[in-house]
Amino acid sequence: MHTAVQLIELGAIILGLGLLGAVSVRFSISPIPLYLLAGLAFGSGGVLPLGASEDFVAIGAEVGVILLLFTLGLEYTADELVGTLRSSAPVGLADLALNAAPGVIAALLLGWGPVAAVAMGGITYVTSSGITAKVIGDLGWLGNRETPAVLSVLVFEDLAMAAYLPILTALLAGAGLVGGLTALGIAAVTITVILFVALRHGRLVERFVASPSDEVLLLKVLGLTLLVAGIAQQLQVSAAVGAFLVGIALSGPLAHSAQKLLEPLRDLFAAVFFVFFGLHTDPADLPPVLGIAALLALAGVTTKLGTGWLAARRAGISTPGRLRAGAALIPRGEFNIVIAGLAVAAGTNAELGPLAAAYVLILAIVGPLLARAAEPLAHALATRKNTGTPATATDDATDDVIAAPAQADNTADNTADNTADNTADSTR
C-alpha cells in the first residue's frame, strides 16, 4: 500500500511538472518560478503536503544539481577552466566581498553573533549553480560570449564553497581554528586530485567511458559522474564541483554524445530539484521575515548585477552581454539552503532558517524573470544611447557567437551537429 501511494505521489509530481512546463512554454517564461511555487503548495504547511515520496524527491534533487553542473562542464576543456580561473580571480574576489557583506552586516545588526554572521555571509554570497545553469540553457545563452565569464564566477564560487563549508562546519561545532584548517586541507587535496586527473589524464577517462553503444555510454557516464560527485561530497567538497570537473575531463565527440544522452535525465531531475526546495519550506514561517529578506534580496540583485557587469566587461563584452551576465548570477538556491540548514541545526538562531528560505525564494523566482528581461532592457538602452534610432544587430552578433576555445577546436561535424540542435531547439 505504501508503495502504491509513493507511485501515485511521484506520478502526480512529474505530471504536474509537465503541465507547468507547458504553461511556461505557452507564455514564454522560465518554468523555475512555477516549480518553486508548486513545491510550496504541496510541501510542509502547504495546501496538500506530500510525504510518501519525500526520500525519492530528495535524492532526485541531488541528482538534478549534479547533472546540471556536469553538462555545464561538458562545454569547456580543462585547460580552458584553469585559464579562466586565473583570469577571473579579481572578479571572484570582488564577487565575494560584494555579496557576502550584506549577510554579514544584517546578522551583526540583528545581534545574532559572529558565527551566524559567517553563515549569513555565505547565504547571501553564492549563486545557485543549478538555477543559473537552467536559465542559461532555457534562454539559449550557452554559446554567448559572456557565458564563459559567468561560468568562471560560478566555478570560483563553488571552489570557494569547498573552502568555506569545512570552516563553517568547524565553527558551528566549536572545533576551533585547527579543526577548520584540517577540514580545509582535506577539501583542497580532493579538488587538486580531481583537477589533476581532468587536466593530465582526460584522454584516459574518455577511453574508459567511450562505447559504440548509447546504452553503455549512458550508464558509464552517469555512473562515473555520480560516483565522483559522491566521493567529493564525502571529502568535504561540493558534489557539484566534482560533477563539473568530470564534465571538464570529457571533450570532443564523446562530450557531445554524452550531453545528448543525458539531457532528458538532466531536465527531469533538475525540475525535481526546484520542487524539492519548495517542498521543504513552510509558508507560515515566511511572513515575519519577508521585510528583511526583501531588503537583502534587493541588495543581492544589485551586487550580482555588478559582479556580472564587471566579469563581462573584463572579457571585452558590450552592454547586452554584461546585463545578461549579471542577471544570470542573481538566483540563489541549493548552497544557500545547505548553509542555512547547517546553521539552524547547530542552534545559531531560530529565525535564520526562515530568513534564508524567504531570501532564496525571492531571488530564485525573481532571478529567472530578470534574466528573461535583461535582453529587452539592453536593447532599449542601446536604442536610447543611439539617440532614438533602432539598435543595430552589431552588439548581438558580437555577443551571441560561440567564443569557447574548446568549441572552436571541435570538428566540422560537431559544429554542424550543434548548429542543427540549436536550430531545432529554437524552432521548438
**Residue appearing with cell numbers 559504440:** 212
Q: Which one is predicted more confidently, 9 or 79? A: 9
Q: Give me the domain span that covers residue 303.
A: 53-427
pLDDT at residue 247 tops 90: no
Higher pLDDT among residues 268 and 198, named by residue: 268
Q: Which of 155-159, 199-203, 284-288, 304-308 has the highest mean pLDDT?
A: 304-308
Q: What single string gives the DSSP state of each residue in 55-98? A: HHHHHHHHHHHHHHHHHHHTTS-HHHHHHHHHHHHHHHHHHHHH
CA distance 158 to 134: 17
Question: Measuring CA to CA, which residue among 298, 292, 294, 300 is closest to residue 351?
Answer: 292
Model confidence at 278, in pLDDT bands (50, 70, 90)? confident
| Cβ-based neighbours of 10, under 8 Å, separated by 6 or more | 53, 56, 57
Average pLDDT estimate for 227-250? 79
180 located within any domain? yes
Return the pLDDT at 26. Answer: 83
155: in domain: yes
Say if 241 falls within a structural domain. Answer: yes
Give the highest mean pLDDT range of 89-98, 122-131, 198-207. 89-98
Residue 387 pLDDT = 57
How much is the pTM? 0.66
User: Which CATH number is 274's domain given?
Assistant: 1.20.1530.20
**Residue 300 in this model has a pLDDT that exceeds 90:** yes
Residue 421 lies in a domain: yes
Question: What CA dihedral angle connects 243, 244, 245 and 246, to 10 degrees?
Answer: 50
> What pLDDT shows up at residue 98?
95
Q: How many domains does the chain have?
A: 1
The verdict on residue 359 lying in a domain is yes
> What is the DSSP annotation of 313-329?
HHTT--HHHHHHHHHHT
In a domain, 3, yes or no: no
User: Does residue 405 form part of some domain?
Assistant: yes
Backbone dihedral angles phi then psi of residue 43, each to the nearest 5 degrees: -100, -160
Confirm whether 45 is domain-assigned: no
